[in-house]
Structure 1
Amino acid sequence: MTNNDWFSKFSTSLSSMAGKPATFVIAVALVVVWAISGPMFHFSDTWQLVINTSTTIVTFLMVFLIQNTQNRDTAAMQIKLDELIRALDGAHNALLDLEELNEKELTRFRRRYEQLAEDARNALRSGGVDTDSPFIDESDDDDEGSRRDNDSARRHTKRP
């Protein structure tokens, strides 16, 4: 077992335990015990330092453990979504690795899909259907591409 495998299993287990109600109850109990012990220690600086240091250390370590688990979960989810896109007939394979694009490219795709959603809602309001796989144009500024998409949407809109 490599160090990465060990750390992955450890972080997954610890993250899972940290999210359980019993862990929360234990944390609350520790804070209550600390608060109750205040009068015994005359609410001293050392007494306050114990809770401050403890919570800082736990928070610091948990950030890395949870981030490791989140990174692996996100990567696995991206692979699953990529497989669904790849396997679906009519899906746009250009969407397979969107997470690798820069912000400008993502914004262009997002605008196009927001427009498709708006068109679909309008089609539903008009008594049409919203099931279509229109052409995705490379440029959201291309009027001809938008016209093709709208024409395609109209052709595929079924009226009762």
Structure 2
Amino acid sequence: MQGGLFQRFSSAVAVGAGRPAAFLVAVGLIVDWAASGPLFGFSTTWQLVVNTVTTIVTFLMVFVLQHSQNRDSEALQAKLDDLIVAVSRADNRLVGAEKLSSHELKALRQSVRQEARNGEATIRTGTGPAEGATPAEPPR
């Protein structure tokens, strides 16, 4: 697996943060913090510690997890594009559809739905593709 330091770090953090152990550690830290309240007299500094730490961790996790999500999305799109190209009946206009504007994507989806409806009508009348072939299910 190729990748820079940040990529390896963000992948490891995303995997680790999604585990039950990470949740249990977070709960444990909050319980410890709450239990230490009487020791510090529930002071403003005591409250500020948890607020500051959670804010910083949340801020950094947004970037780490977004990077991981972007990579996963890119990989998924590449796999889908490959499947579209490999399937002879697939519409090659769908390759790279994720890069279209919202308006273009809506028009493309409507076109695909209409083609799916036309394909179903063709199969029902017996003038469609070879026996055993089925039309693509329209997107929902």
TM-score (norm 2): 0.82
Amino acid at match of 1:75: E
Partner residue in 1 for 2:53:
54
CA deviation vs aligned residue, 1:52-106 (integer Å, no higher than 9, x gap): 0000011011111101111001000000000000000110000001111111111
4+ runs of 1 displaced by more than 3 Å? none
Matches of 1:35 and 1:154, distance apart in 2:
65
Partner residue in 1 for 2:97:
98
Matches of 2:82 and 2:44, distance apart in 1:
57
Amino acid at match of 2:102: E
Matches of 1:40 and 1:10, distance apart in 2:
36
The share of aligned pairs that are identical, in percent, is 47
Amino acid at match of 1:157: R
Structure 2: any 5+ residue segments left out of the alignment?
127-140
Partner residue in 2 for 1:83:
82
Matches of 2:38 and 2:111, distance apart in 1:
63
Aligned-residue Cα RMSD (Å) equals 2.0
Matches of 1:155 and 1:70, distance apart in 2:
40
| Aligned pairs for 1:135-146 within 5 A | none
Q: Does 1:21 align with 2:20?
A: yes
Q: Give the Å deviation of 1:5.
A: 1.2
Amino acid at match of 2:11: T
Partner residue in 1 for 2:10:
11
Q: Does 1:64 align with 2:63?
A: yes
Q: Give the Å deviation of 1:158.
A: 6.7
Amino acid at match of 1:93: N
Q: Does 1:157 align with 2:124?
A: yes
Matches of 1:71 and 1:155, distance apart in 2:
40
Partner residue in 2 for 1:38:
37
Matches of 1:30 and 1:154, distance apart in 2:
61
Amino acid at match of 1:154: A
SS of the equivalent of 2:42 reads coil
Q: Give the Å deviation of 1:112.
A: 3.6
TM-score (norm 1): 0.72
Matches of 2:61 and 2:30, distance apart in 1:
18
Matches of 2:57 and 2:8, distance apart in 1:
19
Partner residue in 2 for 1:124:
none
